[in-house]
A and B are shown apart, each in its own frame.
Chain A
Amino acid sequence: MERVRSGDRAAFRLLVERHERRVLRVAVSRLRSEQEALDVCQEAFLKVYRGIGQFQGQSSFYTWLYRIVLNLCIDRLRRSGRAVVVDFDDAVLHDGDGDGALALPNPFRSPDSEFQSQEFWNEYSRALDGLSDKHREVFQLYNDDGLSYKEIADHLDINIGTVMSRLHHARQNLQGALRRYLKRK
């Protein structure tokens, strides 16, 4: 971090490479567009580079970066009139292992060509848009960003039972909307 502060571009590149896939995932999840995700992450990392002097290290670097990316996504969604997610509260987001990195979102990921199709993506996007803001936000925070029940509860200032309830409803609704794809398996 000190090297980045002093303008060391190689050190900055390492920082980018360490975190880019994770923040791109967050941005693609919210914006559903790789190009827009790249735009947002580019802007986020430039903000980081220019504002690295303001980073005090009270939270992890990734928490700081994640907050910037999520807020940029929210701004973009608002400007374009698309669904808006709840503002990010940087008081949360840590996985307790001290490296500032989030846990992987879930243990079930595996390559699956059918679910990687444009058709499924479009259907999934529509299903997400069909959720209420509250249900979609909890689903994305858990499923795509890797936050725990507790972190989501702190983030949204709700209790864990509400988090589980919203997550359950989001999953049920998505299951209903995507049933014909899921039953093919």
Chain B
Amino acid sequence: MPNLDDTLLQRYLDHDLDPEERARTDALLAADPAARQRLEDYEALVRATASALDARLARIPAGALWDRLESELDAGAAPARSWLDRLMAAFRVPRLELGLACGALAAAAAIVVWVRLSAVPAGPAQVAKASETAAEEIQKNALIVESYEVTEGTVVIDVSEDMPGAPAVVWHFVDDDTQDPHHRG
């Protein structure tokens, strides 16, 4: 006959056996009065300890915990909600709408950043190139009225061919080694 050890009895007691194991154990218990007594002793212990704990629990009046909690709540305890919950509550915005609004804000921010990056001032090489082009245009189109040397180049006062009566002052930085002498006044 298989041994009806305490581990098996305990599993029987704790309903940890599958139906087939349980049926086999029932058969063994029927043929083993000592094992049956050990099982009954375990059952008595479980019943007694649970009953004792239940009795202590029954001494706590129904509603006693809520009464205590309500006093605390009246004294000002309030749920501390997450910042997101507080934000949504403040504006009464459902989560979906809040998500869409955040998305729109992010897109707007991205556009602003892109525009700002596109408008970054040109580097030294681009400035020099633009200055050179401008100087050539002035030399082709302008009538030089007056010109004189300054520390960093030459200042040219000219008049546009299109508008002879409207003199304009142009800061024209000229490299002495490359400048055509006829245009230096």
Contacts and interface: CB of A to CB of B under 8 A. Distances in A.
Interface of A: 4-7, 9, 12-13, 16-17, 20-21, 24-25, 28-29, 32, 34, 37-38, 41-42, 45-46, 49-54, 105-112, 115-116, 120-121, 124, 142-144, 149, 164, 167-168, 171-172, 174-175, 178, 181-182, 185
Interface stretch (B37-45, B101-109, B125-133, B176-184): B37-45
B48 A46 contact: no
B52 A5 contact: no
Contact of B81 (A52, A172, A182): A52
A interface, over-half SS? helix
Contacts of A121: 52, 55-56
Given A16-B66, A53-B79, A143-B46, A42 B72 contact: yes
Given A32-B56, A110-B47, 16 more contacts: A4-B79, A12-B69, A20-B66, A37-B60, A42-B72, A45-B69, A108-B43, A109-B50, A109-B51, A111-B51, A115-B48, A115-B55, A116-B51, A178-B48, A185-B44, A185-B48
B52 A50 contact: no
B115 interface: no
Nearest to A161: B7
B80 interface: yes
B85 interface: yes
A168 B65 contact: no
A32 B56 CA distance: 8
The 5 nearest A-B residue pairs measured at CB: A116-B55, A53-B81, A53-B82, A115-B51, A108-B47
Interface of B: 6-7, 10-11, 14-16, 41-57, 59-60, 64-66, 68-70, 72-73, 77-82, 85, 89
Residue from A9, A16, A52, A182 having most chain B Cβ neighbours under 10 A: A182
B68 A42 contact: yes
Contact of A9 (B57, B65, B73): B73
B65 A42 contact: yes
18 contacts: A5-B79, A16-B65, A34-B56, A38-B60, A38-B68, A45-B65, A45-B69, A50-B77, A53-B80, A106-B50, A115-B49, A116-B55, A124-B48, A143-B49, A168-B6, A171-B46, A178-B48, A182-B41
B79 A108 contact: no
A107 B46 CA distance: 9
A56 to B, nearest CB: 9
A180 B90 CA distance: 65
Contacts of A52: 79-81
Contact of A5 (B48, B59, B65, B81): B81
A53 B89 CA distance: 12
Listed residue (B14, B65, B68) with the most chain A CB atoms within 10 angstroms of its CB: B65
A41 B52 CA distance: 20
Contacts of A182: 41, 44-45, 48
A148 to B, nearest CB: 8
B79 to A, nearest CB: 5
